[in-house]
Structure 1
Amino acid sequence: MASLAQSQIERLEAQGCTADDWSAVALDGATDLARIRRVHFAGVVAVGSNDGSICVDGAQLPCGLYDATLVDCVIGSNVRVANIGSAIVRYEIGDGALIQNVAAMTAEDGATFGAGTEVETVNEAGGRVVRLTPLLSAQTAYLQAFRRHAEPLRRALTAIIDADVNAARRTRGVVGAHARVVHCGKLCNVMVGPYAVVRGAALLAHGTILSSAEHPTLVGDGVQAKHFVIAEGAQVEGGALLDKVYIGQACRVGKQFSAENSLFFANAELFHGEAVAVFAGPYAVTHHKGTLLIAAGLSFYNAGSGTNMSNHMYKLGPVHQGVFERGVKTGSFAYVLHETHVGAFSVIIGKHYANINTPDLPFSYIHESEGRSEIVPGMNLFSVGTVRDGEKWPKRDGRKVRTPRDRISFGVFTPYTVEKMRAGRAALLRLNDATPKDKAVVHYGGVSIKRLLFKNCSRYYAQAITRYLYGRVLDRIDAAATARAWADVQQALRPAGALRDPFAWTDVGGLLLPVERLRRLEDDITAGRYASLVAVDEAFSAIAAQYEQDEWDYVCAAFAAEFGTAPHELTREQAEQVLVAFDAASAALHGKIADDSRKEFDAFAKIGFGLEMTDDERAAEFAAVRGSAETNAVVQRLAAEQAAMVEQLHQRRARLAQF
């Protein structure tokens, strides 16, 4: 960079340029002065080389500076800045960036660009504040929101976050290399990451748009966002309204979705509706108008149209909250009154005016009957939708960055959900023993359960528990196929013994882990062993890497508790019995799931088909539109899995016969 010669100043002035002080303007030696026209320079401004061109709205336009006011800016190489309504103030603009047709871009000295914003999540009245930082993850946010029990831990987290907020503080804003900011209104204190596209945004203030070459971020038409962080690969467009919001990696937001004081982590899809004080772990989905999600913690969640939640009893204010464990769905126009705690992979249908508290009854149907909330525990175990959930989430992970920030456990049947089923089965059996035969309905956790369901539903859980535990043991035996003696197989079935309490598991923002590992991490944070959120996230990554070992410790403990024998104590003959029992449990569950999938091709499914047609024509039209059970991919895959189960049974029997 070099100061301007008098001849250069005169040429720029001839091209309509002015400056408060030409001596404060510096140009790269390769800068083409012909590409700087009608520009006013104020404060200290440095301009890089400006050869080349950039594609703008389908037209190839020259790099350079045109019709703009620049105040205290650093302009990189091969940048195009054009048609700035007011000014660009205190920005560093990276190489290859484009800024055109923008009302104003200003940054204040000492701005933190959204970092440090206090988001009053889960509880609208406060008390579960999460502070935004560019490096926020679902796990570190969870620590802030849901682990409020220990003052020393809160103080330690505050100190770590203070350091991250101070690290985000800058004298200038940044538009990253190859980023594009076009056709926008005002941007104030907004950090724009490399390769980001900001197109048609109406107002952006006090925020950070993270982006990368691997997965550029889009902020599109009509978006108004204040006090925000938008992570890599997210798409926020369609007039979305955001205030005090975190949008995670690969999220999609649009169609006038409105959110405030909310956090949405990886792969969320948010359209049309409204969210207030929501902590949404990965894969939260709401697609419909009239949907209000408020004061709730949830993940892997799907909201039906018109879903409504209430957190206000008109007494002490909006102080109530709901917890929807992973995989919960709400049907169309479902209404839920907080306080609420719903078990994993449950479905809520209808309007519920009681406070539901059923965390130990996962995979349930909660429905409304004559104004009363009723539950059928375990019924969702047999839904083909539950099977699809477990398969679709890994396939729909849209994150393309080298280091995904949120750690996600995708499994449906895990130590977390299986232990919930064990607790639910025990509760149902206790209720069965304690309930008189003349009593038709029992109230439990704010819902009603028919007495006749106790034994059946406890059997549903028992089948799923057996299938999971036996299946994991047989998988280990398969892995030890090269063993020469049964004693070697038994050795492979021993637990690592790393956990004092392998039964206690928790879900930390989408990551499943033993409770004691979480508590150890909290102790380390309190002791000052981590200096940044990055270091805390690395610790979570280390825990996630131990999942398989920890799961096996759980399987060994639960197997012994269920069947009276530890896996490594099984004889070969007992292993054969395990195989037979596993096959029976698998066949029962799989058969019910397959039956559920085939219901989609029953007569009721054809009601809207074949208008003014014969029965044969109706059947033909249905087949043309929907296919048949014989051609449907899901049904056929289930059938193929059933055949594969038979083949696997034969292989395992042959393998066991070798010992």
Structure 2
Amino acid sequence: MTAMRTLTATEIAALQVLGNSAEEWSQIRVAEDFRPEQLLRSHFEGMVEIASGARVIRSRVRNYRIGAGSLVESVTALECRHRSAFGNGVGVATMNECGGRTVRIFDTMSAQVAYVMAVYRHRPQTIAALERMIDAHAESRSAEIGDVGRNCRIVGARFIREVRIGNDVEIDGASALENATLCNGVRIGVDVKAYDFIAAEGARIGNGSIVERCFVGESCILDKGFSAAESLFFANSHCENGEAASIFAGPYTVSHHKSSLLIAGMFSFFNAGSGSNQSNHLFKSGAVHQSVHLRGCKFASGAYIMSPALEGAFTMVMGHHSYHHDTSAFPYSYLIEKEGRSHLMPGSNLTSYGAVRDIEKWPARDRRTVRRDVIDFAEYNPYVTGAMIEAVNILHTLQEQDPDAAVYTYNKTLIRSASLQRGLKLYNRAIVAALGALLDRGESNPRYDGTGRWADLAGQYITHRAVTEILDAVDRGELAGLPAIDNRFRVFDVHYDDYAHSWAMDVYTALLGHTPTAAEMNEAIAAGHNAHAAMRRTTDADRDRDSSLDMAVSYGLDDDRDEVRREDYFAVRGLK
């Protein structure tokens, strides 16, 4: 804010003529270039500051600074009634309704820090250190006066209480906003009711949505009456119509249907079909159970999961599943219901063009400008490839235990023999493609040791070793602030290719039994390119089937000629 001054007697008289009133005019401070015409038929209480070009029209304002060029019009109450941290430090009972994974939100929170807070509860010293940092951050944000940033537009709202508002924010017709921070570029729409929350840069909450104790991450959208409580949403998530309760929604979590419920679980790059549902208690100990749907999972219409449960990355779930499965070792699978049982089809999603389309569309749909969350989009990566290698080992073990079995049992699921055989072929081809791609980028550098197990930390592929090193540094007090922790995650991401190359070299060396020669490296890379091309031919054929004229039923509705049906179909689908 620029230098402020008190009002002159002449200005006060002019303001009163314009229908304005104040509890105490001496507490109203204005910019040097203030003109009485900036305020019209409004009432001011406590300390109020009006910056250059700011306007207040037919509103009541109490203890607020109004930034340069901002408009406050027809607002029942814009007020800061007491000292507030504006949503910073609010506890959100994510993933588990009973609160065992409570994350204290703050206005610069990254998905990675939130993931650690939610998932690493077995490290109480780390959690305590992080909570102390969040407490300090919340205290630094605390004030008795609220702020409206520059070039904001706040029109037709009812009650805005203890809300810190960043620059270029629009609030149009909201019903109630309380104890919150709206970061730069946030949009809040008609009839929104939101309490104890933070909306990160570029987030949108609109059209009657109800939000309570939530973090709405960068460029997220909650719209069309969506209801969310005790939940975290990270970059580019988009939820409409339905409901979320106690979820950790990693990047690109999508739910568009009125009948869908996301509850007590973790999601990431996720898509919920209509009627998707989960239940998180068994009427014994209460709502204590949770489910995790790893990156890229999709629920078909009517899919149901009884928690606890866990699906591998890029799994398509169809039907009802109530046996508490764990298929985390089987990425790119179908989990389908047959005769009341959960059947696993390992690797089947590797042949689907839908999976390819998803992986390609996410980077193109990244709306962020700040990019606080670290997100890795790589199709071929150590995390999923490592799971596929584990899947191959498990399938071989099952086969060796009973070579003649028609159906195998694994973690509460059934795998038919034919599905097992097909899964081995699909996974082996994908592993070749992945290893080739990973060996073909990055460099061998002992500084970047990517060997061992990898994790997916809410969108970031990272080694378990690196995560442990970061958290150990937190415990020792070497990373004394939240920005320093985020920076460590970012430093790993900068060198991701080298870490991934290191992991692939280690795996390839183990397969060969010796360090690969230059010729063997070239052979592996070429084999990877060939395997990738073969996989693309399969998924392209799947796309072609989906785009064939066999799918043109109901097109060319008012004409019996095939050529009209074809032209209508191609025009609508954007095909040639």
**Residue in structure 2 matching 1:254, options 194, 217, 223:** 223
Alpha-carbon separation, structure 1, partners of 2:389 and 2:434 = 12
What's the CA shift for 1:32? 3.1
What's the CA shift for 1:473? 3.0
Name the counterpart of 2:505. 556
**Residue in structure 1 matching 2:446, options 486, 489, 496:** 496
Q: For residues 436-515 of structure 1, what are the structure 2 equivalents within 5 Å? A: 436-437=403-404, 439-474=405-440, 494-496=444-446, 498-499=448-449, 502-515=451-464
- Which structure 1 segments of 5+ residues have no match? 36-62, 477-491, 632-659
Alpha-carbon separation, structure 1, partners of 2:483 and 2:244 = 28
Alpha-carbon separation, structure 1, partners of 2:20 and 2:389 = 76
SS in 2 for 1:586: helix
What's the CA shift for 1:379? 0.9
**Residue in structure 1 matching 2:484, options 535, 538, 543:** 535
Name the counterpart of 2:206. 237
Matched-pair contact (CA < 8 Å) for 2:549–2:566: no
CA deviations on 1:597-647 (whole Å, 9 max, x unpaired) are 11113454133335562445544443343365xx3xxxxxxxxxxxxxxxx
Q: For residues 97-108 of structure 1, what are the structure 2 equivalents within 5 Å? A: 97-108=70-81
**118 and 10 in structure 1: CA distance in 2 versus 1, 3 angstrom threshold:** closer
Alpha-carbon separation, structure 1, partners of 2:534 and 2:287 = 46
Alpha-carbon separation, structure 1, partners of 2:365 and 2:497 = 23
What's the CA shift for 1:581? 3.3
**13 and 286 in structure 1: CA distance in 2 versus 1, 3 angstrom threshold:** closer
SS in 2 for 1:312: coil
- Which structure 2 segments of 5+ residues have no match? none
**554 and 237 in structure 1: CA distance in 2 versus 1, 3 angstrom threshold:** same
Aligned-partner residue type, residue 84 of structure 2: A
What's the CA shift for 1:534? 1.6
Sequence identity of aligned pairs in percent?
33
Matched-pair contact (CA < 8 Å) for 2:330–2:388: yes
Alpha-carbon separation, structure 2, partners of 1:183 and 1:251 = 23
Alpha-carbon separation, structure 1, partners of 2:418 and 2:26 = 88
Name the counterpart of 2:313. 344
Matched, 1:305 2:305: no
SS in 2 for 1:126: coil
Q: For residues 22-33 of structure 1, what are the structure 2 equivalents within 5 Å? A: 22-26=25-29, 30-33=33-36
**278 and 127 in structure 1: CA distance in 2 versus 1, 3 angstrom threshold:** same
Name the counterpart of 1:323. 292
Name the counterpart of 1:429. 396
What's the CA shift for 1:15? 5.0
What's the CA shift for 1:405? 0.9
Aligned-partner residue type, residue 141 of structure 2: A
Name the counterpart of 1:227. 196
Which one has the largest radius of gyration?
A: 1
What's the CA shift for 1:553? 0.7
SS in 2 for 1:581: helix
Matched, 1:371 2:340: yes
Q: For residues 111-122 of structure 1, what are the structure 2 equivalents within 5 Å? A: 111-122=84-95
**245 and 575 in structure 1: CA distance in 2 versus 1, 3 angstrom threshold:** closer
CA deviations on 1:475-523 (whole Å, 9 max, x unpaired) are 57xxxxxxxxxxxxxxx6x453642x71210011111101000000000
Alpha-carbon separation, structure 2, partners of 1:29 and 1:625 = 58
Name the counterpart of 1:591. 537
**Residue in structure 2 matching 1:196, options 133, 153, 169:** 169
Name the counterpart of 2:570. 623
Alpha-carbon separation, structure 1, partners of 2:235 and 2:332 = 24
SS in 1 for 2:73: strand
What's the CA shift for 1:147? 0.6
Kindly report the root-mean-square deviation, in angstroms, between the aligned alpha carbons of the 2 structures.
Answer: 2.1
Matched-pair contact (CA < 8 Å) for 2:147–2:165: yes
**578 and 5 in structure 1: CA distance in 2 versus 1, 3 angstrom threshold:** closer
Alpha-carbon separation, structure 1, partners of 2:309 and 2:315 = 13
Matched, 1:278 2:247: yes
Give TM-score scaled by structure 2 length: 0.94
SS in 2 for 1:102: coil
Aligned-partner residue type, residue 75 of structure 2: V
**440 and 65 in structure 1: CA distance in 2 versus 1, 3 angstrom threshold:** same
Name the counterpart of 2:357. 388
Deviates more, 1:223-232 or 1:16-25: 16-25
Matched-pair contact (CA < 8 Å) for 2:27–2:46: no
**26 and 141 in structure 1: CA distance in 2 versus 1, 3 angstrom threshold:** closer
**16 and 550 in structure 1: CA distance in 2 versus 1, 3 angstrom threshold:** closer
Alpha-carbon separation, structure 2, partners of 1:508 and 1:188 = 34
Alpha-carbon separation, structure 1, partners of 2:49 and 2:110 = 31
Alpha-carbon separation, structure 1, partners of 2:19 and 2:438 = 76
